[in-house]
């Protein structure tokens, strides 16, 4: 797992194709039940691998053992929280403890995560995408604001794909901070600037996290300081 520290934020990426062996037993029963609903074995293993990765990532931040963490997810839509299988991720070192601010995104065999390691950040979000995935008919209508669509007029590929992937990852990272996900339409989010409705957004170079070229990533966070960045290896 390669990690970079940006002030109060820790960002990591990991490939999910390691065999799961019996490690799935480290997960909560609700996670195993959700895994059993996937029709494709590849999707199931990516889900399980991502949940194992984020649990280890959270345990590292909390200086706790992964198996002992308490699952503390929350969903703004159905207003559930605690040991639920979906929504904004959270883990705490003990029941009733303060959950670590954390977020995850999978793309292909990759999983990227961000966590707040200082007290000043109240929510975080991350998104990573295979950049080529934004090249589909109707993307601009579904994802972009009118201002973003007009700023793309006259820009040709490969720059146009780069800009679309950049806007898309910023929007998804921002929507994860809000906790709405795509229940809020991305075409209502203006993502050209690095501050979206008071939430800071930072573009990440996935190659710095050990990922191959062809991916785009962004992190969003609600507060906290960005003093320096440091590669942790």
Ligand X SMILES: CC(C)(COP(=O)(O)OP(=O)(O)OC[C@H]1O[C@@H](n2cnc3c(N)ncnc32)[C@H](O)[C@@H]1OP(=O)(O)O)[C@@H](O)C(=O)NCCC(=O)NCCS
State whether residue 63 is helix, strand or coil.
coil
The rounded distance, in Å, linking the Cα atoms of 72 and 63 is 17
Among 8, 72, 127, 148, binds ligand X (CB under 6 A): 127
Residue number, 72 or 172, with CB nearest to ligand X: 172
Q: How far is residue 49's CA from residue 24's CA, in Å, rounded to a whole number? A: 8
3-state secondary structure of 52: helix
Q: To the nearest whole angstrom, how small is the minimum distance from the Cβ of residue 47 to ligand X?
A: 6
Question: Among the candidate windows 10-18, 58-66, 74-82, 144-152, which touches ligand X by CB under 6 A?
Answer: 74-82
Query: What is the per-residue binding string for ligand X in 142-181, x denoting contact by CB under 6 A?
Result: ------------------------------x--xx--xxx
Neighbour tally for 82: CB within 10 Å: 12
Applying CB under 6 A, among 7, 49, 50, 99 the residue interacting with ligand X is: 50
Residue 91: how many other CB atoms lie within 10 Å: 24
Distance CA 67, CA 70 (A): 9
Residue 112 · residue 218 · CB < 8 Å: no
Is 49 among the residues that bind ligand X (CB under 6 A)? no
Please give the residue whose beta carbon sits closest to ligand X in the complex: 181
Strands laid side by side in the 199-204 sheet: 124-130, 215-221, 199-204, 195-196
Distance CA 176, CA 171 (A): 9
Residues 37, 77, 122, 225: which binds ligand X (CB under 6 A)? 77
Instruction: Tell me whether residue 181 or residue 210 sits nearer to ligand X (CB atom).
Output: 181
CB of 131 to ligand X, least distance (A): 14
66 binds ligand X (CB under 6 A): no
Per CB under 6 A, residues contacting ligand X are 47, 50-51, 75, 77-78, 86-89, 103-106, 127, 172, 175-176, 179-183
């Amino acid at each position: 797992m390669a990690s970079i520290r940006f002030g109060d934020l820790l960002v990591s990426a990991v490939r999910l194709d390691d065999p799961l062996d019996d490690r799935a037993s480290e997960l909560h029963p609700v996670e195993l039940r959700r895994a059993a609903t996937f029709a494709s074995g590849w999707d199931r293993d990516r889900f399980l691998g991502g949940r194992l990765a984020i649990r280890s990532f959270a345990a590292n931040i909390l200086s706790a053992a992964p198996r002992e963490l308490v699952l503390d997810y929350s969903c703004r839509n159905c207003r559930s929280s605690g040991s639920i299988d979906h929504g904004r991720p959270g883990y705490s070192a003990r029941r009733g403890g303060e959950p670590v601010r954390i977020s995850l995104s999978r793309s292909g065999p990759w999983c990227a995560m961000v966590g707040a390691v200082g007290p000043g950040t109240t929510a975080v979000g991350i998104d990573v995408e295979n950049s080529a995935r934004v090249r589909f008919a109707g993307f601009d209508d579904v994802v972009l604001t009118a201002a973003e669509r007009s700023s793309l007029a006259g820009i040709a590929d490969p720059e146009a794909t780069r800009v679309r992937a950049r806007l898309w990852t910023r929007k998804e990272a921002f929507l994860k901070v809000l906790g709405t996900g795509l229940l809020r339409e991305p075409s209502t989010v203006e993502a050209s600037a690095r501050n979206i409705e008071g939430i800071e957004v930072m573009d990440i170079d996935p190659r710095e996290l050990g990922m191959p070229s062809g991916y785009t990533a962004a992190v969003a966070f609600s507060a906290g300081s960005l003093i320096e960045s440091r590669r942790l290896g």
